[in-house]
Structure 1
Amino acid sequence: MMPFPLSLVADIGGTSTSVALAKGPELLSDTIRHFQNADFAGVEALLQSYLSGAGDLDGACVAVAGPVRGGVANLTALDWTIDEAMLKNVTGATTVAILNDLQAQGHALGHIAPEKLLAVIPGPLRPEEGSLVVGVGCGFNAVPVYETSAGRIIPPSECGHARLPLKLTEDIELAQYLQETVGYVAVEEVLSRRGLERLGAFVSNRPSTPRLVTAVPIPKNGTEKAAQLFVRLLGAYVGDLALTYSPFGGIYLCGKLAREFGPLLEGKGFESAFVDKGPFSLDMRRFAVRAIMDSDAILTGCAVYLNENLHT
């Protein structure tokens, strides 16, 4: 199998988009550009702006922050629709693909530089046993990654819409607060950028909570207490997902918020919440957790998918 000579890859988020060219599965790092979506009427205009003078393309693959069905994607946070016909028209490529952004992250596994993987919970990675990619950013989601004789399989998922697990009295108070302010106590309403802001509002309104901001670099709009609560709930829910999927190949946290929190996870209770599963607590220590610190991993995943799944 020969690699695609030249292809376009893009990471289309709710507020910004990254675009690059790739040769085979390798990104051409000097071609990476970042755009603000608000500057364009739609993705077609954005890609046309990038492609001006780029030359002929053999393939194109874009990852979208939203569900993809039947070759059509709708962004969750933006009124943009992307389909394969439009992608072929704007790029001139005959071979195109549209992926969910978390699925693209899954295809990047094994192609991320080791120095871009931060060990949150140490342990060996055995990709042949199945992995789990957890996206923490503007939203929340997770997908399993399976290695099979037919190739890598990454089924779609929307687990961020599941109900938030509750354990402590503080969690129940948080659920009541969210029920009053949001109306539905979903995981994504807490474990996301807007969720961190809600946690800040929640803890600041609790009489027993000191209003404290430390010298530790807490992500924007966070306080020390909100950060600790965020990390504990993240560890608890990712632990639940580990029990569900048995990803002995490794768990990978990705997304902008995961990168910001990555260096803080070890000291703020992620591991203790992750392994706190009653009679299964000892088994939980068999799972290794990494944070993907490479902001271009989705672009790499698009290039890998295009090259390994669509090129003949």
Structure 2
Amino acid sequence: MAAISRSAYASASPDVPVAISFIAADVGGTHVRVGHMVQARDAAIELSHYRTYRCAEHASLQAILEDFLQQRRGVDAVVIASAGVALDDGSFISNNLPWAISPSRIGAVLAVRNVHLVNDFEAVAYAAPQMEQRAVLQLSGPTPRHARANGPILVVGPGTGLGAALWIDAKPRAIVLATEAGQVALASTHPREYAVLQGLLRDRHYLPLEHVLSGPGLLHLYDAVCELHGATPRHRLPAAVTHAALHEDDALARECLEIFCGLLGSAVGDMALAYGAAGGIYLAGGFLPTIGQFLAGSAFAERFLDKGNMRAVLERIPVKLVEHGQLGVLGAANWYLQHHTDLS
């Protein structure tokens, strides 16, 4: 369990009357990130306190939130960003979580009337206005000294699945369009990739992007590369594959990661054209930050641009890698601030 850390956002003074006080939580398979958001009257919203918890160390999400709220009462609402499926009783389950999420139980335990759930990647997209300051690496497009790109912003993240959402700077308030881009068909005309994909199609009739472009997908890809070479797979975790590709003399893991980066670049280029993402593209979440330098030196950028006559269009779109960090919390907070009048 991590200690409370101060955000780059200033903490609200306890002497200042608070107009809004709520909890924003980003629930992942390994960690729950929780932030206390406060807004003094006529002031900007601030992240007052922030803490990270390990899911496996706690019996439920309400236990985590109850611990976080021990010193922070007077909360108006809780907004939770999480992947998962809603059940008939209103609870939320996910293959990656050790427990179900029950808004009614959370509300009862915390004595909070308003508890809201939002899709995890939709929440990340609501943090698009904060992403530029969290960019760690530019992979393609004009540099910051050029004019700022305008238009819709696409946020893409290969994690447990492949998330993608579009942020549109509309009036009176921004619009986020969640997508199912991860379910779009995966295809390639590159001979080596085509051979690998043929192997992946042997036991299925449809191959969606996220079957390869995700954490679990990296293992599918690695197994297929090993099969193509007649080798026995050595690694059973995505992190083991990336570590072997980056730090060990493991040619198969490296080939797997090279193919992954090329396919990701091609898929993101397709999304940029399909969604008109002229305002930029941010790669957020998942394991991409751990392979940032490898990604920058891979075929990602060339495959992103390799769209025939549309190359000149794609060259104008900045593509950047961002650290996920607090983005899920900030995005969930942005979602609540935009919707709370309608929800209250």
TM-score by length of 1: 0.84
* 1:10 counterpart SS class: strand
From the superposition, tell whether residues 294 and 207 of structure 1 become closer, same or farther in structure 2 (CA, over 3 Å). closer
* 2:207 counterpart SS class: coil
Matched, 1:157 2:187: no
Q: Any unmatched runs of 5+ in structure 1?
A: 212-216
Matched, 1:118 2:140: no
Give the Cα separation in 1 of the matches to 2:105 and 2:168: 30
Query: Which residue of the other structure, out of 16, 21, 45, is the alignment partner of 2:31?
Result: 16
2:200 aligned partner, one-letter code: L
Shift in Å, 1:17:
1.8
From the superposition, tell whether residues 41 and 161 of structure 1 become closer, same or farther in structure 2 (CA, over 3 Å). farther
From the superposition, tell whether residues 158 and 4 of structure 1 become closer, same or farther in structure 2 (CA, over 3 Å). farther
Give the Cα separation in 2 of the matches to 1:245 and 1:26: 32
Check the 8 A contact 1:26/1:303 in 2, yes or no.
no
Greater Cα radius of gyration, structure 1 or 2? 2
Shift in Å, 1:208:
9.5
Per-residue Cα deviation, 1:25-62 (whole angstroms, up to 9, x for no partner): 33235x312222x3444433333343344322122211
**Farther off after superposition, 47-56 or 295-304:** 47-56
Q: Residue in 2 aligned with 1:90?
A: 109
Aligned residue pairs total 304
Q: Residue in 1 aligned with 2:7?
A: none
Shift in Å, 1:224:
1.8
Shift in Å, 1:305:
2.2
Check the 8 A contact 1:121/1:271 in 2, yes or no.
yes
Give the Cα separation in 1 of the matches to 2:194 and 2:68: 48
Matched, 1:45 2:44: no
Q: Residue in 2 aligned with 1:55?
A: 73
* 2:287 counterpart SS class: helix
Query: Which residue of the other structure, out of 18, 21, 27, is the alignment partner of 2:47?
Result: 27
Shift in Å, 1:235:
0.1
Give the Cα separation in 1 of the matches to 2:213 and 2:295: 14
From the superposition, tell whether residues 117 and 93 of structure 1 become closer, same or farther in structure 2 (CA, over 3 Å). farther
Query: Which residue of the other structure, out of 273, 277, 285, is the alignment partner of 1:243?
Result: 273
Q: Residue in 1 aligned with 2:236?
A: none
Q: Residue in 2 aligned with 1:298?
A: 328
Q: Residue in 2 aligned with 1:214?
A: none
Shift in Å, 1:91:
3.3
Q: Residue in 1 aligned with 2:13?
A: none
From the superposition, tell whether residues 84 and 150 of structure 1 become closer, same or farther in structure 2 (CA, over 3 Å). farther
Check the 8 A contact 2:266/2:304 in 1, yes or no.
yes
TM-score by length of 2: 0.77
Shift in Å, 1:76:
4.8
* 2:242 counterpart SS class: coil
* 2:75 counterpart SS class: coil
Check the 8 A contact 2:31/2:52 in 1, yes or no.
no
**Farther off after superposition, 89-98 or 171-180:** 89-98
Q: Any residues of structure 2 matched to 1:162-311 within 5 Å, and which?
A: 162-180=184-202, 184-207=206-229, 219-220=242-243, 222=245, 223-311=253-341
Structure with higher RCO (Cα < 8 A, 6+ apart): 1
From the superposition, tell whether residues 100 and 3 of structure 1 become closer, same or farther in structure 2 (CA, over 3 Å). farther
Percentage identity across paired residues of the two chains:
26
Check the 8 A contact 1:74/1:82 in 2, yes or no.
yes
Note the aligned Cα RMSD (angstroms). Answer: 3.2
